[in-house]
Chain A
Amino acid sequence: MSRSLAGWRIALVALAVVLFAWLVLAPWPQGFEAVFGRKKVFLNAVLNGITLGGLYFLVASGFTLIFGLMRNVNLAHGSLYLVGGYVAYETVEATGSWLLSFVAAFLVTAFLGLLLQWFIFRRMEGQDLRQTLVTIGISIVAADVMLWLWGGGFYQIAAPAALGGATQLPLISSVKSNGDTVWLTYPIVRLVIFAASVVLGVAMWLVLNRTRLGMMVRAGVDDRDMLSAIAVRVPILFMLVFAFGAGLAGVAGVVGGTFQSLAPGEDSRFLLVSLIVVIVGGMGSIPGAALGALIIGLAEQLGSVYAPTYAVALTFLIMVAVLAFRPQGLMGRA
């Protein structure tokens, strides 16, 4: 690429960032609000999109981690999400502790992940299609067993009272006619969960890029035979990564169950979200999953506010555009 083109590209991105910052920070002029609706609606959609992106990142990062290291396609990932949610619900019902439910969901889904890796994936390494089919079969069975155990109703995990309220953000929602500034209020629980997913994402990136364990994982992505030749026990490494990725899906289930609700069908919805996020972001890339989750979360929320009929089509169009111009995903390696 020529240098001038790269310069233009940077200028374009900078312009978009400035425009977005103005949209978020400045009070909107009257005429502008008349055309685009109230600023509060826009801000809420943006924040909802970003926090939803945090949830999507939690689900998709486990999926992309497993795929990136082992080339295992786990289409039962959505089922792990839903199992985690239900386990957390039962834990909260039994003990009343929201934080404990994260531990329980992580442990249960990580254990299920270990079983999957031990009994299924280890036996069909490199057979993409069989893995896909078997995990689809597992997800059909799991969906029906969960329907059996928990029924078709909606469950919501109760967040602790301390996180129940709303807080004022330093963002201008609107300016009243008498000159008073109205600040935006926003549910605390969503902010906390978003912060947690950012912390988790950064931690994952640090572990992968700055520690010996991460070095082994990355080496396993590039050349698994060579890694085992230098005396790393690859099967155990794989089991650990699979368990961690599955555990992430379970944790995401707790978050999703608190944010939204748990019901049959959520498993395939979140499987689909993971697929789209990793296709957009790039298979096997953690920063890619973060970027993809942010884009899809924002597109879904802004779309549902400004073009309700076509919100789903919008996320789909993004995926098509990425496939058409960058088939390996935004952050994927060619």
Chain B
Amino acid sequence: MTDIPVPAPAAAAAPSASGLPAWLSAVHPAWWILGFLLLFMPAMAGDFVLVQIFGWSFILGMIALSLMFLGGYGGMVSLAQMTIAALAGYMAAVFGTSSVAEISLGLPWWIAVPIALSIATLFGVVVGALAVRTAGIYTIMITLAISAAFFYFALQNYEIFNGQRGFNGIRAPVAFGVDWRAPVPFYYLTLALAAASYLFVVYVGRAPFGLALQGIRDNARRMAAIGYNVTAHRIAAYAVASFIAGVAGILLTWQNGQISPGTAGIPAVIDILVIAVVGGLGHPIGPFLGALLYALLRTFALDVFSAFGFESTRFNLLVGVAFLVVVLASPDGLVGLWRRWRDRRRPAAKPSGGHR
């Protein structure tokens, strides 16, 4: 057979040689290895690594993923995602149980969590409705202003947000006979939800809605001219992203056992942007890579610094410089670096291949 360019969907539908269903054999072997590694991680790693490195990476990765969804597919870089996550965490504390008995309503988790998610998603839609009135750089500024307003509001409001102290004693529930607070179940919980949101974003990116969204990103006027409601698509994208961020926010609150205004402070908001950009806005795996790197740095920077004879408090300097280097050298982050390295390694052997 000659080397005829074949579009990817047709190739995926063709029967495969190994006898596996086509959709299974289309998955790159590297994903199988990664999947097995993550699934059997509890056998290899201790509780600290499971929760503080991997659990945290998955959670931060989900929040950054919601930013990647908006920024990469929708062209709207929103700095409000950490705020939406924190709002979901706050609402889980207000409607669920915490040590602050005067405010917490103490509802069971299967009521409190859906309420918290709905409120966070609704808030995200309102933020989106405001933000989509503007474009590009204005979106960044407005969402940054909204995040800061939320931070100061939570700091000063005692009726709902309990001011500076926030809430503590928030626990993952015991459900279906499993104590989800324990390290191994919590690891699997975060892994499952992170994988689900990753697959969901990949799926939406190829579904008609995601394709329309990418069309709007590339040329909003043309999409409007062929009959797409640009504003509705953008706001819907905010709703999707806010839901993912909300789930992550509740997980984050469960992991920390507490939530306070600092969770949504400006440094935290910027950190999510750093994670998403360093990982790469071009592919949904980017945010998780960035998050893992961030969690590793955050946890082990102290040791690294003392090894090099620096003061251990200069963490932000390291993160800032690393961020600058990535942004200046590779605007599409680690994913972009990897893609370029891969392309250089096999220099145009199959220039026409439809596979990626």
Most chain A CB within 10 A, of B148, B274, B277, B311, is at: B148
Q: Is A309 an interface residue (CB 8 A)?
A: yes
A interface bracket (residues with beta carbon within 8 Å of B) = 35 or more
A279 touches B327 (CB 8 A): no
Contacts of A132 in B (CB 8 A): 77, 137, 140
Q: Is A320 an interface residue (CB 8 A)?
A: yes
Assembled-state Cα–Cα distance A73/B77 (Å)? 14
Q: Is B39 an interface residue (CB 8 A)?
A: no
User: Please, which residue of chain B has its CB at the minimum distance from the CB of A283?
Assistant: B138
Assembled-state Cα–Cα distance A134/B274 (Å)? 10
B136 touches A140 (CB 8 A): no
User: Please, which residue of chain A has its CB at the minimum distance from the CB of B148?
Assistant: A272
B270 touches A140 (CB 8 A): yes
With A275-B144, A315-B149 in contact, do A320 and B130 touch (Cβ < 8 Å)?
yes
B323 touches A140 (CB 8 A): yes
User: Please, which residue of chain B has its CB at the minimum distance from the CB of A316?
Assistant: B149
User: Please, which residue of chain B has its CB at the minimum distance from the CB of A268?
Assistant: B266
Q: Is A276 an interface residue (CB 8 A)?
A: yes
B331 touches A130 (CB 8 A): yes
Assembled-state Cα–Cα distance A129/B152 (Å)? 26
Q: Is B141 an interface residue (CB 8 A)?
A: yes
Q: Which of A286-326 contact B (CB under 8 A)?
A: 308-313, 315-316, 319-320, 323-324
Contacts of A275 in B (CB 8 A): 141, 144-145
With A128-B136, A129-B136 in contact, do A138 and B324 touch (Cβ < 8 Å)?
yes
With A136-B270, A327-B133, A327-B134 in contact, do A319 and B314 touch (Cβ < 8 Å)?
no
With A132-B140, A133-B327, A136-B270 in contact, do A144 and B320 touch (Cβ < 8 Å)?
yes
Contacts of B320 in A (CB 8 A): 137-138, 140-141, 144
Q: Is B200 an interface residue (CB 8 A)?
A: no
A323 touches B133 (CB 8 A): yes
Selected from B130, B149, B277, B316, the residue in CB contact (under 8 A) with A312 is: B149
Contacts of B156 in A (CB 8 A): 308-312
Q: Mark B112-155, 1 if CB is under 8 A from A, else 0.
A: 00000000000000000010011011101110111011001100
Contacts of B311 in A (CB 8 A): 148
Contacts of B144 in A (CB 8 A): 272, 275
Most chain B CB within 10 A, of A133, A134, A276, is at: A133
Contacts of B158 in A (CB 8 A): 309
Contacts of A319 in B (CB 8 A): 142, 145
User: Please, which residue of chain B has its CB at the minimum distance from the CB of A132?
Assistant: B140
Contacts of B266 in A (CB 8 A): 268, 272
Contacts of B145 in A (CB 8 A): 272, 275-276, 279, 316, 319
Assembled-state Cα–Cα distance A276/B143 (Å)? 11
Q: Which of A246-275 contact B (CB under 8 A)?
A: 268, 272, 275
User: Please, which residue of chain A has its CB at the minimum distance from the CB of B135?
Assistant: A128
Selected from A73, A143, A309, A312, the residue in CB contact (under 8 A) with B137 is: A73
Assembled-state Cα–Cα distance A263/B133 (Å)? 35
Closest Cβ–Cβ distance, residue B193 to chain A (whole Å): 28
Assembled-state Cα–Cα distance A75/B167 (Å)? 32
With A140-B270, A140-B316 in contact, do A279 and B141 touch (Cβ < 8 Å)?
yes
Contacts of A315 in B (CB 8 A): 149
- 28 interchain pairs, CB-CB under 8 A: A73-B141, A130-B327, A134-B324, A136-B273, A137-B324, A138-B324, A140-B319, A141-B317, A141-B324, A143-B316, A144-B314, A144-B317, A145-B317, A148-B311, A272-B144, A272-B145, A276-B145, A310-B153, A311-B156, A313-B149, A313-B153, A315-B149, A316-B145, A316-B146, A320-B130, A323-B130, A324-B130, A327-B134
The 7 closest A-B pairs by CB, nearest first: A140-B320, A316-B149, A141-B320, A312-B152, A137-B324, A144-B316, A144-B317
- Other CB < 8 Å A-B pairs besides A141-B317, A313-B153, 11 of them? A128-B137, A131-B137, A132-B137, A133-B277, A134-B324, A145-B317, A148-B317, A275-B145, A310-B156, A320-B130, A327-B134
Interfacial residues, chain A to chain B (CB-CB below 8 A): 73, 128-134, 136-138, 140-141, 143-145, 147-148, 268, 272, 275-276, 279, 283, 308-313, 315-316, 319-320, 323-324, 327
Interfacial residues, chain B to chain A (CB-CB below 8 A): 77, 130, 133-134, 136-138, 140-142, 144-146, 148-149, 152-153, 156-158, 266, 270, 273-274, 277, 311, 314, 316-317, 319-321, 323-324, 327-328, 331
